[in-house]
């Protein structure tokens, strides 16, 4: 199936503030042994959390936030190791299991903001694009389909091309797409938005703002 693709918007962000709810902040404050977290106004929760962090070493705060976010998925040893490594490395890009990259991004950036840059600054990419069929055909556009369609305009130097070239070409199954794209939304009228790590994809990875692509439909 042949498409005309236009990249309509691409930008980098270092945080999604709405990711953390007031309840998240209160539970984190309690984890930092902050008294009367329930009595803190919603507008002051984030600042209070950063003050609570300042009483601890960065790796200690990292352990607390990691345990809150990923304590059900990672064991104590893994959390301890990550809490030290993330002071030097962009753990949300370099951790071996890409299924954790999304949550690690949010953890890293909360700590980055709380410690005024003590942690490496990771970035997320928000890319909006038009995926218009050249014929009057319909396709079920999911994460893997979107990446395969976009791959026609992506430079061979891009990390995603170097690591998943066969999957992008449709020669292998592509379950990793679920972890590579953090959020995917159909905006209607052949318009889509995806959020991923800068590590996988950003505006500079596209060789043109408009291009044609062919995606083989699965039987």
pLDDT at 66 over 70: yes
> Span 27-45, mean pLDDT?
96
Q: How far is CA 116 from CA 58, 89, 112, 119, 126, in A?
A: 11, 16, 6, 8, 24
Identify which of 124, 103, 107 has the alpha carbon closest to the alpha carbon of residue 115: 107
pLDDT confidence of residue 28: 98
> Span 41-52, mean pLDDT?
97
Q: Please report the beta strands in 21-179, taking only residues with DSSP state E, as ranges in sequence order.
A: 124-133
CA–CA separation, 59 and 83 (whole Å): 5
pLDDT confidence of residue 216: 83
pLDDT confidence of residue 136: 80
77-129 confidence digits (pLDDT tens)? 999 999 999 999 999 999 999 999 999 999 999 999 999 989 999 999 999 99
pLDDT confidence of residue 138: 84
Domain boundaries, the chain: 2-13+123-214, 17-114
pLDDT at 74 over 80: yes
Q: In what order do the strands lie in the sheet with 191-197?
A: 181-188, 191-197, 124-133, 2-13, 210-214
> φ, ψ for residue 205 (rounded to 5)?
-80, -15
pLDDT confidence of residue 139: 86
């Amino acid at each position: 199936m042949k498409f005309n693709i236009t990249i309509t918007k691409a930008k980098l962000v270092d945080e999604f503030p709405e990711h953390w709810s007031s309840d998240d902040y209160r539970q984190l404050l309690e984890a930092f042994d902050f008294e009367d977290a329930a009595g803190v106004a919603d507008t002051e929760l984030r600042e209070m959390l950063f003050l609570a962090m300042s009483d601890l070493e960065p790796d200690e705060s990292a352990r607390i936030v990691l345990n809150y976010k990923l304590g059900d998925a990672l064991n104590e040893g893994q959390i301890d190791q990550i809490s030290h490594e993330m002071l030097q490395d962009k753990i949300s890009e370099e951790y071996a299991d890409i299924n954790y990259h999304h949550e690690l991004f949010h953890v890293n950036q909360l700590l980055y903001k709380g410690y005024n840059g003590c942690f490496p600054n990771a970035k997320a990419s928000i890319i909006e694009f038009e995926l218009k069929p050249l014929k009057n055909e319909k396709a079920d556009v999911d994460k893997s389909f979107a990446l395969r369609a976009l791959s026609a305009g992506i430079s061979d130097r891009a990390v995603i091309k170097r690591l998943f070239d066969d999957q992008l070409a449709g020669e292998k199954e592509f379950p990793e797409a679920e972890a590579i794209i953090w959020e995917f939304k159909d905006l209607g009228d052949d318009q889509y938005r995806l959020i991923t790590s800068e590590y996988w994809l950003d505006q500079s990875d596209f060789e043109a703002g408009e291009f044609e692509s062919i995606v083989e439909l699965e039987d």
